[in-house]
Chain A
Amino acid sequence: MDHLTSRVADVSGLRVVLAEDAVLLREGLAGLLRRFGHEVVASVGDADALLAAFEEHEPDIVVADVRMPPGFTDEGLRAALTLRAARPGLAVLVLSQYVEQTYAAELLDTGGGIGIGYLLKERIGDVKDFVDALERVAAGGTVVDPEVVRQLLSRRRDPLTRLTPREHEVLGLIAEGRSNAAIARRLVVTEAAVSKHMAAILAKLDLPPAQDDHRRVLAVLAYLRA
């Protein structure tokens, strides 16, 4: 049984604190999460309110926009980093209208990269995928936006050129934080085939073999960011 899918079973009914300054989006997001059976215990519009709401509600996961009042720069991200520093295991999903490697790196460097997500805000549109990502993060998974992964993969690193195109594709999906089962579904192959690709990739990149999906994601991300 897949590690992540086993955890997904107990991530229904999450208690969520939502921080997003655009009212339209905040309400929409809250409605969406409720529809999937999660409870939005607080939805706030700025970083200070987020910290206060966290203290009050002790949620399972925090969903925060990067850019929030009063400075409209990266207050949400900083608040997320503060929360992660105080509570390393806290699941945090950071949303942004643009993605930056730098921000991804800052988030992954907290709490050992466990239970962290960083996604483009527009991924909300793919409702099911989005909720799935949220649940994976709540379960201690790591979710990195494909856009960031694409940037990381495009950086020149000699061993990467030894990968076949298919392996490249699989590597990208791993880095996004997807499980073997999810990758198999995406590429319309069997899980066994994915496992084979995976072994080949790990060998080519001199990464230690890992059965655990999550450890594998972190190893791959650490490799790509190095």
Chain B
Amino acid sequence: MFTRTALEAVTRPPAAFLRSSWPWRSLAYLLSSVPLAALASGVVYAAVEFGVAIACAAAVLAVVVLGPVLAWFERVRLRLVDLAPVRVDRTRSAGPRAGLTARRARQASLPGTRVRQAAHPGTRARQAARSRARVAARLAACLRDQATWRAYGFVTLALGVMWVVDLGMVSLATWIPLVLLSGPLQPDIDLATGLALAAAGIVLLPLSAYLMTAWAGARAMITRAVLAPADAEVVRSRARLVDAFESERRRIERDLHDGAQQRLVALSMKLGLAKLDLPPGSPAAAQLDEAHEEAKKALAELRELIRGVHPQVLTDRGLPAAVLDVAGRSPVPADVDLVLPVRPPVPVEVTAYYVVCEALANVAKHSGATRCSVRGRLVGGTLVLEVGDDGIGGADPEAGSGLAGLADRVAVADGVMTLSSPPGGPTSLRVELPCPAPAPAETPRPAPSPAATPCPVLPPVENTWTTSPRA
């Protein structure tokens, strides 16, 4: 078994653990707190020598100036006890949209598309101003970034408390066994007692190894959670995957629309024309009729398929129109009340659309309802959607009803899904999707519907089952 962290190492068989490098790695990890100790001692020394006020100022200055360096140092020494890669990629931590922007930037630099170059030579002042603006923008992004503040918090903790525990653990774990081992060498202890003490020391050594490794592992876990949270990266990479799938679906939809569908329509038209030329009742006419019917069926099937792959109306007209359309095809009559003053960003629209589709499909398949409703509003920066029905209730997300997949999809968009479905009904599915202000539209978008009104807050439903990305 490949061991990746100190904590995993502790759970291995004792012989394997003690022979491994993990105790030594842990020792090194904890000892590398010495610079922190020196820094903290410096502050204490300053307090004694120059007064508490100056010491406090020095401490704040040290944290502010050295914070990023110390955070980097923590990540570097994390490798001693945690072999999983640590990635801190600031351009990515701006959220799922950052990936999109990067992709657009790449597309813009593809051959064939012209990239604007700095047009006027010798305008150094302007370039300097531009680079100053860039630095300011990066600084602002840094300050807005949660990761920056997490790092400062962690550094404060490490400087204030953690080094004491680190070095305390090392001394506790090494000092007692070493003192015991030195028994035979002590002048005022007789040899037999000394040897007995040394034996006790030898027994204690492995225990010390466990003690140190366990604390080093725990400390590393805290460090990773705060300074290099992996799950956020996973969520973001999932979001990028969903984005990629979505653009692929659009491409497939376009290809089917421009290719197979056009040809089938042309074929159907030719068959229709051919029918006009044949005398009715002839054997060929009957065959042709059949062929024509088949072509029409194929067209109808293809139409549904294309709609499933990517709903064009969602792109053209936005969420309310697309939802109205889905509701129109729902076997269970659905009332739609969806008013959005602005169009949400595309990934939010797509997620919301699939939520409604899946929810309505579930209503039709499982609920036994006679009517259902879709309601949606933008509340603050959140798109709140509710799909309710008057059916038998008892919807179970574990029973493969598609609800689990829906929850995953919502989680990728950083949203929360809440299901209330007591046996006997009614069922209500509530989805909240964070909905940042839409980016400057890349395609011309129609003006918001005149019916757009300020949105009343929907009352939260009773919470029986909730998923969230962090759950």
Contact = CB atoms under 8 A, between A and B. Distances in A.
A29 interface: yes
Nearest to A29: B269
Nearest to B336: A155
B371 interface: yes
Interface in B249-269: 254, 257-258, 261-266, 268-269
Contacts, number: 100
B255 to A, nearest CB: 12
B257 A125 contact: no
Interface residues of B, number: 44
B326 to A, nearest CB: 10
A100 B269 contact: no
B275 A127 contact: yes
Given A73-B315, A122-B303, A156 B371 contact: yes
- Secondary structure type dominating chain B contacts: helix
Contact of B316 (A25, A73, A155): A73
Given A101-B324, A127-B272, A127-B275, A154 B312 contact: no
B261 A97 contact: yes
Given A67-B312, A126-B272, A151-B328, A72 B303 contact: no
Nearest to A71: B443
Nearest to A65: B262
A102 interface: yes
A28 B269 contact: yes
Given A24-B262, A25-B262, A125 B325 contact: no
- Max chain B Cβ within 10 angstroms of own Cβ: one of A67, A124, A125: A125
A124 B272 contact: yes
A22 B313 CA distance: 20
A151 B325 contact: yes
Nearest to B299: A122
Nearest to B261: A97
Given A102-B317, A122-B299, A72 B254 contact: yes
Contacts of A124: 265, 268-269, 272
Nearest to B321: A102
B272 A100 contact: no
A184 interface: no
B271 A125 contact: yes
A152 B303 CA distance: 19
Interface string A36-52: 00000000000000000
A155 B269 CA distance: 32
B316 A74 contact: yes
A97 B325 contact: no
B296 A125 contact: yes
B439 interface: no
B306 to A, nearest CB: 7
A98 interface: yes
Given A32-B273, A98-B312, A156-B335, A25 B443 contact: no
Nearest to A36: B276
Nearest to B258: A22
A154 B333 contact: yes
B292 interface: yes
Interface string B320-363: 01001101111101110000000000000000000000000000
A215 interface: no
B307 interface: yes
B328 A154 contact: yes
Interface centre among B269, B272, B317 (most CB of A within 10 A): B269
Contacts of B303: 97-98, 120, 122
Interface in A144-178: 151-152, 154-156
B295 interface: yes
A20 B301 CA distance: 22
Given A98-B307, A122-B299, A127-B273, A154 B329 contact: yes
Contacts of B299: 122, 125
A73 B443 CA distance: 10
A121 B333 contact: no
A125 B292 contact: yes
Interface of B: 254, 257-258, 261-266, 268-273, 275-276, 292, 295-296, 299-300, 303, 306-307, 312-313, 315-317, 321, 324-325, 327-331, 333-335, 371, 443-444
Interface of A: 22, 24-25, 28-29, 31-32, 35, 67, 71-74, 97-98, 100-103, 120-122, 124-128, 130, 151-152, 154-156
The 6 closest A-B CB pairs, nearest first, are A125-B268, A156-B333, A151-B328, A127-B272, A102-B321, A122-B299
22 contacts: A22-B262, A25-B265, A25-B269, A28-B266, A28-B269, A28-B270, A67-B257, A74-B316, A97-B265, A98-B306, A100-B317, A125-B265, A125-B268, A125-B269, A127-B269, A127-B273, A127-B275, A128-B276, A151-B329, A152-B328, A154-B328, A156-B333
